[in-house]
Each structure stands twice: as C-alpha cells, then as structure tokens.
Structure 1
C-alpha cells in the first residue's frame, strides 16, 4: 500500500496520483467482501466503543449487502474528495472526520452536506467514519505521529476507560537522542504534509527536548495530561489563543516547559491514512478478501495561503 503526500498539485495531477496508489488486486483465492464484512474487519481495528460520547462514527450511508471492490481513504468528506472516490469507482469512502457530527433536518442536495450524500448514493459509494475511535485505537492517529517522529516507549496521554493499556487519546514517548527545540521543530515540519500554515513553535529554540507528547487534531483539551506526563514539548493542532497563552504562562513556573509545537489539523491526521489503509488491507487479506485500497492525495486543509512578515 503506497500513498503520496498531499500537495498543491492540480486536480488532474492529483487524480492521476490517486489512481496510481491503487495497487492491491483481487487475485488467487481472495473473494470480494460485502460492506457488512468490511465493517466487521474495520471494527476489529478501530472499535466504535473507543469513540468519545459526543462523536459520530460508523456507517453514514451504504447498503451492508453490497459488494466492495474498491475502498478510498481521506481525512474530510468534502465534495472534491467524494467526487474523487466516486470517479475512481470506489464502493466505500472511509474518512476520519464525520460528515454529520451535528444533527441535521434535511439532506436535500441544496446544501453541501446533502450534495455529498446524494453524490455518494447516486455513485454507489458508501461512507464510513472513523474519528475519535481511530484516535484512541492501537495504531491510530497519535500512534502514527509518534512513530513518524521516531518516539520510543510510547504510552497514551489519556488512557481509554475500560480499554487496553495501549488505547487512549494522545501519546507520549521519548526521542532516541535529545535535541534542541529548533531541531525538533524542523523534524516535525519535515514529517508533516505541506500546508499553507506550516508549523508554529512556542519556546526557547535552544532548549533541549527529550520527552515528547503528541495528539493528532485539536489537542488543547489534554493540557493537564501533558503537564502530568513530564513532556518537554507538546505537538498538536488548533491551539486557540487563550488556552495556549495560559499554558505558556503556567510553563514559566517549570522552566518554560512544556514547549508547544502547533501543526495543521488536516496534516496531523493525514499521516494516519496510509497506515490505516495498509492495516485494513492486511486484515482483509487474512480473512480471505481481496479489495483495492487507495489513499486520497487531496489537500483538504481549509487554508490556501498565509502572509508573514517579509513576504
């Protein structure tokens, strides 16, 4: 399973890239699964029981009895991603972010969410969401970030209630070798998909960091856990002004630590897609199923460009 990192490529180039990513073929004794059978395998990897109570995960649209020959992975169920999946002939689109997180009274195609639903149904493509369950599960979003950054001895920041010891929100681990905050910020920048906002860092650029906490997506709700973990630096996204300011002020009492590294919400979660696609492909194959799986290379970060001093 291969995937290219999102970029600002043209629509035609991106579609070609995504087509090239579809490498798995139904061969030999492998059979085509139904959507219901894919859902059973999916549940083994990312159990819905791990989702937060406020979340909306699981099957959004699709007939369980329909055959699934192609699966498409993406972060956001936006129009261009749905068109990409349907255009590639996928029978299932798996997204990290929910389409219907908040209640709706209509899915008429006059609104953008209704338009997405109609495009999926008319194109014969189901929609499945793995959100906070994919954040908490072993091999989930934060696990992948920790792996990409080279962290060792990784454990959850906020262990899941009633779950395995390895399950929960966020992760914390240590670098094989200590480095300066500036060097670590560069490592994070190099690991993330290219987006307009780049990477922002708060702290002493010459400060030494070793223990690192991470959380894919918006992670300012885990500040208490980060402090309790003894992390030197925290990597997450969507840091609002007041929580970030208060976090930094409190850090002054502990030598400025933990430092903060803010990344793109989209970018931090896109890293999970190739790993998730590979894990699903392996487990489906183990069950005797053959499915083609592709990862979208569409950049669905909402920001297009950024202005900085001197530009």
Structure 2
C-alpha cells in the first residue's frame, strides 16, 4: 500500500464535481503547485488562509482542496510580506498544491447546497437556479446470454439507466451475433478462422453524457469478449437539470422563530440576520450557499416561505421585502459545512482503492467577522 498521487485524488474528485459544472468565469482547478506527486494527507478547507496553510504544514498535507479560490483576480506581483504573498510562499516552500472547487462544488449533486439542505432536513429538493442540462445518450451493447446480468449490473452501478427515482433501467432483446476470429485473437467463444454464430442479448439503456466514458469502461470490464460490440447514440430528450441552490420542504411546517433556531443549530452559528415579512409558518425553503443576492427572485418564483443565503445587500433586502419574501442571512461562512462533507465523500470514493492517503478536514475557522 502506498500514498495516492495527487492527480489520482483529483480525478476521483472531478468524477463527482467536474470543472465543467462551474459557472462561466469562475476560477476552479489547480491554483498552485503540481499534482504530479504522491500525497500522504489531503486537507479539505473552505478558504486558503495562512493559518490553514500552517495547519497543512503541521499535518503533512501535500494537497489542499478548497472551496474558495486562492487566486481569483490576476496578481500583478507577489509580495511575500503582505496579502496573499506569504500564503503562496509557504505553499511553494513546503510543496503544497492548492486546488479550488467553487461553483462546480455548489452545483454538483451532493455538493455544498445539498449538504446545506440535508443539514436543514429538507426533502423533495430541486435546483433553485438552473445553469445547465446534462444531455442523454443511448448506450446499446451486445452481450452473450451468460454474461447479461454481469454487464447489466456493471453499467447500472456505474450510473447508467437512471430514470427519475429508478436506477438500473434497461431493455433487452434476443438476437444472434456473428464474428470471424482472426489469427491474432483469443476469442471467448468460437475458433480462429471459423465463423461463429452466438446467441446474444441487445441491452439498451440511457446514460448522462458526462459519465458515458465511465459507463463504457465498466461495460468493457464486465464483458467477456476481447472486443465488445456497442453503440452510443445522441438522444433528443431532456436530461438532468443542474444548477445553483436548492428548494425543498421541511417534514413538518414550523413557526418562523422555530425555523430560525433550526438554522442556527444546523449551521452552528450564534447570530443571523433576517429581512422581510415574517411568514405564518415555514414549510417550503429555498437556499443558496455563499452570496445569493441576485437570485432572490428565483426563491420568490418557487413560492418559498423563506430564502436562506449569505452576504445580503441592503437594497436587495429592501427589494425582496417589498415583494413579500422572507429572508435569512446566516453568513457566507456557513459553507464550512463542505469541509466534513467533502471529506466523507472523498473517503467513500477512495474506499475501494488501496491507497494510504488520508483526508483531513481543516479545524481552522476562517470566519472574518466577530459579533459583540
């Protein structure tokens, strides 16, 4: 057993939260250093503050995966005694790579907004602000009858065949496959130079475009043939909707004061700001981690009883209040929920590997505000 290469860690991460999910102009991906190295420990952090880097040094973390980018605006110079300079200097001196997953982690299934919704106990959640739709592909594979279940299970486990709340959805039809093994082949059935007629099943399923390579890889691994026959077709169907924020429902309606206490408890904050009219009860909740000022109208459009987001602006609060929307601002820093959330997710993604690399959630608070 040995430590994982940093690139392998990031490949696993991007299979869950690909950079392609990020909104246009967002700064995501490798910020500093190299991924071409083994790492014994990986630190998960909200921000790359100097105290976080000191913690990474202490815990021998060769890679920091952060939610907020270390470098968002272009740097004209790197002065190592002020600003981001000391952070960059320490990372380079101690060979610490910095990788940022910002809006792609907000949007990803199971990402920051889903973590927040889960902490509040919301169910039947949907995307608040759609940003993209994943195209669907039709995968057709031709499989000998004695391996149908193996292939069906493999591609289903890899993510194929999801229709609504159903998984592993496929259709199979009987057929006959023909092939002539060449001199350099080692056929699973049949003999070199002799035409073979094999009883096979045609298996069809739908696959999101962003995981088609993963599913095809699973197909090839489970298929007994040296050269499996399969086709991939585009579909004129609406795929899964992805986007920022979530809107969902509490199990039971509660008073606004009770819900405020629930928000404080869920996100471990002592103080919050509220704005707008106080609803008679709270049942339908919209939320968007970070700065969600420009998206309050989506919460109103969804008929949410309350909208939770950080960094509420004065005039945004006034405008939304005039339109009858109740809002709660627990602060931007509540996105700290991602530290333990990403740690758990990455541990599950790496569980089947034999790497000794450990995931560590940063213990440093990067909340810049204090309340008196």
| TM-score, length-scaled by structure 2 | 0.69
Structure 2 residue 356 is matched with structure 1 residue 290 = yes
Counterparts of 1:152-167 in structure 2, within 5 Å, are 152-163=123-134, 165=240, 167=242
Look up the SS of the partner of 1:235 in the other structure: strand
Among candidates 46, 64, 73, match of residue 44 of structure 2:
73
1:207 aligns with 280
1:118 aligns with 89
The alpha-carbon deviation at position 46 of structure 1 amounts to: 1.0
Among candidates 171, 188, 206, match of residue 263 of structure 2:
188
1:231 aligns with 304
Look up the SS of the partner of 2:245 in the other structure: strand
1:303 aligns with 369
CA distance in 2 between counterparts of 1:246 and 1:204 reads 12
| TM-score, length-scaled by structure 1 | 0.82
The alpha-carbon deviation at position 191 of structure 1 amounts to: 1.1
Cα deviation, 1:174-197, whole Å, max 9, x if unaligned, reads 1110011111111001111336xx
CA distance in 2 between counterparts of 1:138 and 1:64 reads 25
The alpha-carbon deviation at position 203 of structure 1 amounts to: 4.4
In proportion to residue count, which structure has more helix? 1
Cα deviation, 1:81-131, whole Å, max 9, x if unaligned, reads 111111111011111111111111222313321211110111121111111
The alpha-carbon deviation at position 289 of structure 1 amounts to: 2.7
- If asked which structure has higher relative contact order (CA below 8 Å, sep 6+), I would say 1
CA distance in 1 between counterparts of 2:354 and 2:244 reads 32
Look up the SS of the partner of 1:201 in the other structure: strand
1:280 aligns with 346
Cα root mean square deviation, aligned: 1.6
Q: Would you say the 8 A contact 2:282–2:306 is kept in 1?
A: yes
CA distance in 2 between counterparts of 1:110 and 1:203 reads 44
Look up the SS of the partner of 2:290 in the other structure: strand
Structure 2 residue 328 is matched with structure 1 residue 261 = yes
The alpha-carbon deviation at position 278 of structure 1 amounts to: 0.9
Cα deviation, 1:127-179, whole Å, max 9, x if unaligned, reads 11111110000011110110000001001101231336353100000111001
The alpha-carbon deviation at position 206 of structure 1 amounts to: 6.3
Counterparts of 1:90-109 in structure 2, within 5 Å, are 90-109=61-80
Alignment length (residue pairs): 268
CA distance in 2 between counterparts of 1:203 and 1:106 reads 44
In proportion to residue count, which structure has more strand? 2
**Deviation larger for 240-249 or 103-112:** 103-112
CA distance in 1 between counterparts of 2:89 and 2:279 reads 53
CA distance in 2 between counterparts of 1:296 and 1:235 reads 25
CA distance in 1 between counterparts of 2:286 and 2:24 reads 24
Q: Would you say the 8 A contact 1:73–1:273 is kept in 2?
A: yes
Larger radius of gyration: 2
The alpha-carbon deviation at position 231 of structure 1 amounts to: 0.6
Q: Would you say the 8 A contact 1:34–1:65 is kept in 2?
A: yes
1:171 aligns with 246
Structure 2 residue 346 is matched with structure 1 residue 271 = no
The alpha-carbon deviation at position 218 of structure 1 amounts to: 0.7
The alpha-carbon deviation at position 74 of structure 1 amounts to: 1.1
